[in-house]
Structure 1
Amino acid sequence: MKTDAELQKDVQDAMKWEPLLHSAEIGVIVKNGIVTLTGPVDSYAKKLQAEHAAKNVSGVKVLVENIEVRLPDPRSKTDAEIASEIVAAFESNTFIPEEKITVKVENGWVDLDGEVSWDYLRDITENAVRYLPGVKGIYNNITINPEIKDHIDKQDIEKALERSSIDSSEINVSVSGKTVTLSGTVHTWHQKEEAGRIVWKAPGIQDVKNELTVDYEYDL
């Protein structure tokens, strides 16, 4: 068990451990296992890295991310320049179904819309954008329309979770049409996200509702 002060120090140390975040001024506030990240960073990549580092700390029950991306003038780009770089990034990655994706850039924020057949294609598309200079944030509105129309096998999903490093003994899987819902408890935020990632690999899935609760005891 950890106190809020111990959890705060662990999150701060996790930030310091990341080379990308050594110069970032990120504030960490903790109350009852709820971790809030605040402050400005000079790239979207740092914002994502801070969020990832915090989520991987044992004891983080809920993460509130209030980090603001403030680009220094030399690194600022016009929306048209960002859009051109996105087009080039899409063209250089043969996995991205660029004909199915529409992009809008406004004040450095990128809106991704469209429809793909697998969740990993949605992730690849976002990954191609997130580290481009000038990007302040991404709204990923891409939806999944699976090409495979077979029935989703609940037992296959449960077996996949059991094979993983996650303690899946308290995870409940339910299937309704093309939607899979995860409920129950896990012990870390990382396990919650990993469970969702595993489920998305099942053929025919259109949506995953990850309602898992992170169960961790705190010294108050």
Structure 2
Amino acid sequence: MKTNEELQRDVQNAIKWEPQLHAAEIGVTAKDGIVTLMGTVDAYFKKIEAENAAKNVDGVKAIVEEINVRYSNSQKSDTDIANDVIKALIDCWSVPNEKLKVKVEDGWITLEGHLTWNYQKEAAEKAIAYLPGVKGINNQIKIKSEIQDQIEKKDVERALKSNWTLHSQEILVRVDGTKVILTGAVSSLYQKDLAEKTAWKTPGVWSVDNQLVVEQKYATVI
């Protein structure tokens, strides 16, 4: 069991160990497993790195993200950012860029369109996260699988159990057409995300409703 102070310290240390982050930029508070990240960073990818570092800390149930992105040099125009985004998507071999639409407004990028696999959606976001001038990404890409076979519940369950970090967790699977619903409990936010990513790999999945709850007890200091 961790106290709030212990969880706060563990998250701070996790961020400190990320080579691309400066711990002084990011403040951390923790209460009953909910971690709040605050501060200002000079690149969007640093914001993502901080979130990922916090997710991997044992005991984190949820993250409240209040990190701002502020560039020290002159901000690139939305037109320049849009051109960089289009080029980055073209250069990313795993993304069928002709199926996507891009909108840029004050450094915020919105991605729209339809792809056949979730890994393509994730790859599109990763391809543009490191671009200069990006303040945020709103990924609204929809998944529309070309596979018409009905999703088998047992296939999703087998995939979850085959992963050693998930096989002992209390994860329940329900299938509704092309949608997978995950309920039950896991012991970390990392496992919750991993379960969703694993379910997405099932052929024919169009959406995943991740209702998993992170359960862990905390010591209370009075």
Q: TM-score range by the shorter chain?
A: over 0.9
Letter in 2 for 1:103: V
Task: Name which of structure 1's ranges 80-89 and 193-202 shifts more when overlaid on structure 2.
Answer: 80-89
How far the C-alpha of 1:92 sits from its partner, in A, is: 1.6
Gaps of 5+ in 2: none
Alpha-carbon displacement from aligned partner over 1:143-183 (angstroms, at most 9, x marks no partner): 01100010101001101111102234410000001000000
Assess if the C-alpha contact under 8 Å between 1:11 and 1:54 holds in 2: yes
Secondary structure at the residue paired with 1:157? helix
Secondary structure at the residue paired with 2:202? coil
Alpha-carbon displacement from aligned partner over 1:183-203 (angstroms, at most 9, x marks no partner): 000001110000000000001
> Equivalent pairs: percent with the same residue?
50
Letter in 1 for 2:38: T
1:198 corresponds to 2:203: no
For residues 116-135 of structure 1, the aligned pairs below 5 Å read 116-135=115-134
Assess if the C-alpha contact under 8 Å between 2:102 and 2:109 holds in 1: yes
RMSD (CA atoms): 1.0
1:107 corresponds to 2:106: yes
Aligned residue number for residue 77 of structure 1: 76
Q: Distance in 1 between matches of 2:95 and 2:183?
A: 32
How far the C-alpha of 1:23 sits from its partner, in A, is: 5.6
Aligned residue number for residue 210 of structure 1: 210
Assess if the C-alpha contact under 8 Å between 2:15 and 2:23 holds in 1: no
Aligned residue number for residue 31 of structure 2: 31
Secondary structure at the residue paired with 1:150? coil
Task: Name which of structure 1's ranges 65-74 and 86-95 shifts more when overlaid on structure 2.
Answer: 86-95
| Deviating 4+ runs (over 6 angstroms) | none
How far the C-alpha of 1:209 sits from its partner, in A, is: 0.4
Aligned residue number for residue 184 of structure 2: 184
Assess if the C-alpha contact under 8 Å between 1:119 and 1:200 holds in 2: yes
Assess if the C-alpha contact under 8 Å between 1:32 and 1:218 holds in 2: yes
How far the C-alpha of 1:86 sits from its partner, in A, is: 1.1
Gaps of 5+ in 1: none
Q: Distance in 1 between matches of 2:143 and 2:33?
A: 33
Q: Distance in 1 between matches of 2:116 and 2:29?
A: 39
How far the C-alpha of 1:24 sits from its partner, in A, is: 4.9
For residues 39-118 of structure 1, the aligned pairs below 5 Å read 39-74=39-74, 76-118=75-117
Alpha-carbon displacement from aligned partner over 1:92-134 (angstroms, at most 9, x marks no partner): 2232211110000010000000000110111111111111111
Q: Which TM-score applies when normalising by structure 2?
A: 0.96
Letter in 1 for 2:172: N
